[in-house]
Amino acid sequence: MSKINELQFEGRVLNWLREIIEAEKRLPFEADQEVPINIDGETLRADLVIWEDKERTKTACIIELKRPEYNGYSLELTENAMRKANFLGAPFFATWNVNEFVLWETFEEGTPLLERRRWHQNVVAIKRLEEVERRAVEERLKRFLQGFLTKDFFEICFVKKGVPTLPLDRLFIDRLRSAVNTFYIRISEDLQAESEENGEFRQRLRDWFGEQGWVFGEKEEDFDRVARLSVLLLIAKVLFYNFLKVRAPGFGLKPIKILTEDADRFKTQLYKYFGQCFGYAEFFRREFVDDLPFPNDEAVVRQLKGFLKEMELYDLSKIGYEVLGSIFENLIPDDERHKFGQHFTRSDVVDLIIGFCVKSGKERVLDPACGAGTFLTRAYVRKKAKTRAKKEHSEILSELKGVEIAEFGCYLTRVNLAIKDIFAREFCSNVEKTDFFDLVPGEQAKFEAVVTNPPYTRQEELEATFSPGYNYKAKLKKIAKEAGGGGGLEVGKRMSIYGYFFFHAARFLAEKGRLGFVTSNSWLDVDYGKYLQQFFLRNFKVVAILESKEERWFEAADVNTCITILERCDKEGLRRKNRVKFVQLKKPLQVFVEQSGGEEARWKSVDRFVRFVEGSKGFYEDERVKIYEVEQAKLWEEGFDEVSGKYEGAKWGKYLRAPAIFFKILEKGRDLFVPLREVAEVRRGFTTGANEFFYLTEEELKKWGIEREFWCHKEGEGEGGKWVPNYVIKSPRECRSVVVKPEDLKYRVLMIHKEKAELKGTNVLKYIEWGEESPREFHKRSTCASRKRWYELPEVKTNLTWIKGIWDRHFIPAVEFEIFVDQQLYQLQPKAENDREILSALLNSTYFAIFQELIGRVTFGEGILWIAVYEPIQLPIINPRKLGDERKKIKLTFKKLSQRQVTSVFEELGATTPEEVALEKVKSDRRELDEIVMGEILGLSEEEQLEVYRAVVDLVRSRLEKARSVPRKTKRKGVDVEALAEGVLREVETGELKKFPEDFIEAGEECREIEVPSGKVVVGSDLRGFFVKVGGASGARIECGSLEEAKFIEFAVLNGSRRVRIPKDERTVKEAVARYGSAYDRFKKVVAEQTRRNIQNSKLRRKVEAAVWAQVVTKQ
């Protein structure tokens, strides 16, 4: 990668700005570089100037550019830029270190830092300026400048005429994030250099990683990780020191003023200040990461000194627990938080859980995943408020225990607790840095309350993070076994980590103690949720389960959540009699938890709501909340299967989300309803493993000349039979009407049921062989390779389908001919053929949409309702065999509805809100069908039918609006591996990499030829000599005369050749292998460096590296 300096980068940015201005004729701006400014006889230069007019008479903004390791908030930088802006009369100036663009409203000299108005935008995330040469980075920079000039800055400059004021917490967090993102870069680079040169230091670093249970692979990301942590802890210590200085003047702490610009002396002097904090030595002790060397660079030290000066302006006590918690979420990198499933919990969610679990104030409280300590801090405040005889600070702390796997989280928890009473004689927090699953229950007294927001990650993601000796699966298996008593607890493989937190936490909970968790709500309805349901019903009174209809409680996690409140109860009789409260909040949580009026008013509102929930009886609903009470014994009976003698689980989500009309429908139809499994079978559509191979348009079929028998099937016997295309529904979007028309279907699916020998001489065989060639190699994909003949799909055909993922259209597609079904849909096969049309009509009646909404789940927070293949068969359906004269009426009515285009439920019902619903607004053909099904058959009155329509509109609308309730920072898309590979290839040189073996054998060279079978090639040796193994342990073995000959075959196959010409001259073979091997190793190293720098996920890196090689071979 070529070098580039700041001046050259300025020139590029200037060209990009001018290109945008030229293309966007409406923009009045002009731009220049290195504009000279004379201030008090000193000649300065503005890196870039944006003029407000074409004549360059009025300055709009100056931009000061710096390298990524330079902090854009540096006092030295901002004050220098401010002077230039004031001299030129620019209303705005910007500081930009490539990663972070900070636009400032020009202020007067001496303006307090907290009064300076600014606009912050994260642009890219690079560590070195040279990375702007990468195509992907360049494109993002251009996109940012395009949006900045045409929208953001244009509006600020001409519409708003100023930068909006930001709250203190936002200023604070942006400033801290910027400090971390810049300071760690140089530390990481120095650590890497020291590790390479100093074996003793490298071993210390390896030992430290081992103590954390992490893998130290000596990779760039490992050094980044420890460098970030060292910066985070340093910043936290500086903040806490400043807090003590302001809040505890008796300590006599002085402002931190360090004159030296030598890195070692700077840190020594800084810790002398910390050493003055008597009684709080625990917060300032020096660990391994604290002693990592600062970069010996005066510019870096000057930035640190400026940062220390700024931090004095913030009062930590005014920042508060809410912001300190969000610091934890904002400063730890996204990929790090994702690995451990860590997400900051809002204080109103925390207070609600604390309100249910900490009632008297005497409870000992455990948070097994304490993060930044919000649960423990709020429990502290609760206990302080509840106990009449005021407890000492140390006594309350002794009743709180936190466990956290992240060092930074532990530190913030201790700080959060310490600032509750800074004048206490001593501070001793019970916060342990460890994995909660390593905590042994019998070694400590039990707790009366266990409260937390456990990680949401999957066990395999955590396993990939820890060192090989840290067998996470075995640990979780042990947790499940111990939770289930002597016989152990049977748990499915798909159980999320939070499930094991329930199991393990229960062992720390005293009898009658309460457990309050906020988790993903998927366990309420998915198959693996049955293990949690069974565990709860056997060990607890289920006090309440709460879910929000209106809002998502976590911005950063793609998950919908619920609160679960349990009470430990060993007596089965009491458990069975317990009345479970299913609570749906129809308003935001702040409606129930007082937001003003101080702590007393806040806790009174929490207590009032808790009493209301626990005291409610039967069914209650108003405009704020809906509560449905169910006897716990009924929940057990509902999920217990008499045949198997096991608890098989039930859909508990319906008790939270079901409208009152749902239960009325069940009551009125109790003599008509049967489970769908009694009248139909539901099967998954086929998964091809290679859609691009199996699904072809008729144009593509003609291009290949594929014989008709492989993309058509014959209907009817003998010569009179008719060839019908193998129509396939690839996506529900192709289904425009209830009855799907052939002309709406784009693809045909290949059905090849013959061996290759039987296909000799056919075009379909040529097509199969094309699919097996590199780089495609479809036959090696796991799904394809699992089949006896990789190119042979099962015949999954049907006339009736079920959509797997529902957005805003509720319908069950049908066809008047047999159709093939992709895995995006399910095959719905009536047990009696003459029931097909009636079933189709009944399933498309509007009431059934309620059933689908309640059985499905929205687990990823994106609004799509997912229905698993095992779920539809449980739904109640009107038994077609119990219908008489209605059958004919239904068929005639349904025919009208089925031919037209299906629209969203809002268009079908003529309403976007429940209040707008009216019978006359419903589409006439739908209304006619519903009058028969809901009115005549189920006996619902017109008012009750209106309730059905209102419920459908409300359920769908709430699902979609809840997904939108948290603004997405970036639009999530599937990762395009091929596009990433192309980006890598643009950054690496491939000219040295010749085609092997063609470019390494002279014309006329005498060779022998071998055929290498399909399969992965591995070079090996044993007592018989060197060999090439093809296709795994049971595959073919090719004997080789030398290691070079084996490598020659390996390289040839790597380049897409299966028919390999090997020179008879051993020296030629040896030289060819040496030349190519050297070039190949260098290429692999460069590609690995590129992917490691840009792609954090190791699995994705491997995919991209494989795709890079496939593209290289294709181009050759």
Domain ranges of the chain: 6-166, 185-314, 325-657, 981-1115
Residues of the chain above pLDDT 70, percent: 89
pLDDT band at 775 (very low <50, low <70, confident <90, very high): confident
Give the pLDDT confidence of 528-563 residue by residue, as tens digits. 889 999 999 999 999 999 999 888 776 554 578 899
CA dihedral 135, 138, 142, 148 (to 10 degrees): 140
pLDDT of residue 277: 82
CA dihedral 1065, 1066, 1068, 1074 (to 10 degrees): 170
Average per-residue pLDDT in the chain? Answer: 86
> Can you give the three-state secondary structure of 311-347, one letter per residue?
HCCCCHHHHHHHHHHHHHHHHCCHHHHHHHCCCCCCH
Q: Would you call 712 helix, strand, or coil by DSSP?
A: strand
DSSP classification of residue 565: E
Rounded to whole angstroms, how far apart are CA atoms 532 and 998? Answer: 61
Give the pLDDT confidence of 455-479 residue by residue, as tens digits. 876 555 555 555 445 577 788 888 8
* Rg of the chain over all Cα atoms, to the nearest angstrom: 34
Q: Does the pLDDT of residue 1092 top 90, yes or no?
A: no
pLDDT band at 141 (very low <50, low <70, confident <90, very high): very high
Q: Would you call 738 helix, strand, or coil by DSSP?
A: coil
Q: What residues have CB less than 8 Å from 97, skipping those under 6 apart?
A: 65, 66, 67, 68, 69, 70, 71, 72, 182
Q: Does the pLDDT of residue 384 top 90, yes or no?
A: no
Give the pLDDT confidence of 87-125 residue by residue, as tens digits. 999 999 999 999 999 999 998 777 776 678 889 999 998
Q: What is the token pair recorded at 567?
A: 């009470």
Q: Does the pLDDT of residue 253 top 70, yes or no?
A: yes
pLDDT band at 490 (very low <50, low <70, confident <90, very high): confident
pLDDT band at 904 (very low <50, low <70, confident <90, very high): very high
Is domain 6-166 in CATH 3.40.190.10, yes or no?
no
Identify which of 114, 115, 123 has the alpha carbon closest to the alpha carbon of residue 95.
Answer: 123
Rounded to whole angstroms, how far apart are CA atoms 876 and 842? Answer: 11
Span 440-460, average pLDDT: 83
Separation of CA 54 from chain center:
46
The model's pTM is: 0.66
- Phi, then psi, of 1052 in degrees rounded to 5: -65, -45
pLDDT of residue 970: 40
Give the pLDDT confidence of 35-52 residue by residue, as tens digits. 998 887 788 899 999 999
pLDDT of residue 972: 37
pLDDT band at 339 (very low <50, low <70, confident <90, very high): very low
Please check whether the two domains, 6-166 and 325-657, share a CATH topology.
no
Range of 510-519, 709-718, 979-988 with top mean pLDDT: 510-519
Q: What is the token pair recorded at 628?
A: 């449905």
CA dihedral 879, 882, 885, 889 (to 10 degrees): -10
Q: What is the token pair recorded at 1086?
A: 């460069």
Q: Does the pLDDT of residue 667 top 70, yes or no?
A: yes
Tokens 């018989």 locate to 1024
- Please indicate whether residue 974 or residue 1021 has the higher confidence score (pLDDT): 1021
Q: Does the pLDDT of residue 214 top 90, yes or no?
A: no
- Phi, then psi, of 565 in degrees rounded to 5: -115, 120
Superfamily for the 325-657 domain: Vaccinia Virus protein VP39 (3.40.50.150)
Which of 288-297, 514-523, 658-667 is the least confident region?
A: 288-297
Separation of CA 814 from chain center:
35
Q: What residues have CB less than 8 Å from 493, skipping those under 6 apart?
A: none
Q: Does the pLDDT of residue 301 top 90, yes or no?
A: no
Give the pLDDT confidence of 702-713 residue by residue, as tens digits. 999 999 999 999
> Could you write out the DSSP letters of every residue in 256-314?
-------HHHHHHHHHHHHTT-TT-HHHH---TGGGSPPP--HHHHHHHHHHHHHHTT-
Q: Does the pLDDT of residue 1101 top 70, yes or no?
A: yes
